[in-house]
Amino acid sequence: RAATARRSPATRSLGRAHRSRTPRSAGPGRLAGYRPPPGEGRGPPGRDLIDLSTMAPPAAPSTERREPRIFETWEGNDRFFCDGRCMTGPSPGSLAGTCALVLVPSAVFNALVVPDVASKYSLAFTVVAIAWPLWCLSCLVAAGTADPGIVRREPYRPPQDGRARARYREERLPNGKSVTVKWNDTCNLYQPPRAHHCSVNDDCIDKFDHHCPWVGTTIGRRNYRPFLGFVFGTAILCVFVIATCALQIKIKYDELPAETQSRNLKAMGEAPAAMIVLFVAFLGFCFVGVLSCFHAYLVATNQTTYENFRDGYSWDENPHNKGLIGNCLEAWCAKAPPSRFRFRKPASQQPHLDGVADETKVEVVVDGDGGDGGDGGGVAPAEPPRRGTGGPRMFPATARAVPTHVSDPSIEDEQRRRAELAEARATKRRIEMELARAEDKMRELAVRVERGEM
């Protein structure tokens, strides 16, 4: 009573008003505001009740940690968009710029040049002028957003008996020819035949061709065919654009009176868009035309750009040569191997592919680790193949060699350092992803608090 007496009249009136608006509970375990279904007991009129004793307790928040997905802890320089659904190289802006370089002149060409030629000759010009640039763009995007054939990185494993691995080893292909492969310190494995580690993407690429700055990524086994489609398709598009622009200039020339002075120059002045597009197409053809001829030679001889500049195989020396028809069929008709990764899946749900191409199913002839070469007593090449005036560009079994294992603590320390660095980078990316998710949750909670939902 003393506490009640000390309260002001306004406070006592507010308390009475609050008690008058709050319905009383009819018993233990009852709440107001619930209308029971037919057949369930009801309380006094106007008070629909619910029995809390029948309600399950709220589930405790899950403390289980979600396993990060592959693209969230990716160690290469590739970029991922749309929650891992789209993958590009380190410079997606280059891909967008190349798309604009094809799309903008094509739009001007279709708007200002094609209508005159199509009305004069055939509507087929309109169909080709629209469909062919779209085909080139589709090949460009497919090459720039595909997995080029990235080889899976392996965890660091110390050499057997604590001895350093040989830098190179010899392997035999299914066709019986031998090639020399190199140990990759970043991926901790011997690279598959024709593979190479791209320093720009920081990935080991199967059948590495080159890193294309126009596509913004590396060209390898899985995106070489769409790259060829873009190169050859763009060369044909340039020829078509040049011919169509010349036809529009001819139409303007025929429309001028025969006695007109400087008829040629005036006809060109009547078609300024055709002159500009023709000049751009000519410059483009000077580049992609030469590139098309070079890659036609590579396809015919079954070489990559990297192999051509490094080894310079002749027709008989190339261990991958299958003949002209076989080489062309491999480049244009062979089924593309599946990717070694499911980027939106965690590491525990990745596919286990022993070999994604026939050339990866090799036999180890001379093993640099002493574990796969049969009795472990083989020898490994001391250095990679060199150019020569003749003979095969690989090490035969009788080549000069060094002992399989050479104690070199510096190599082992470097490999361990690289492994620790890769692990630290993966941990950093995982922490950054967790912090980003925590910030998103904090922002969401702040919005809900502001709206009065909590």
Active site residues: 212
Q: DSSP assignment of 134-193, as one string?
A: HHHHHHHHHHHSS---BPPP----PPGGGPBPPSEEEEE-TTS-EEEEEEETTTTEEPPT
Residue among 320, 454, 319 nearest 392 (CA): 319
The residues near 95 (Cβ < 8 Å, ≥ 6 apart) are 88, 89, 140, 141, 144, 145, 215, 216, 217
Distance, CA of 141 to CA of 123 (rounded, Å)? 28
Name the residue among 83, 220, 246 with its Cα closest to residue 144.
220
Contact 212/220 with Cβ under 8 angstroms?
no
**CA-CA-CA-CA torsion sign (191, 196, 199, 203):** negative
Which residue, among 314, 323, 328, 320, has the nearest Cα to 232 in the 3D structure? 328
Yes or no: say if 357 and 340 are a contact pair by the CB < 8 Å rule.
Answer: no
Q: How far is CA 259 from CA 246, 255, 264, 440, in A?
A: 22, 12, 12, 75
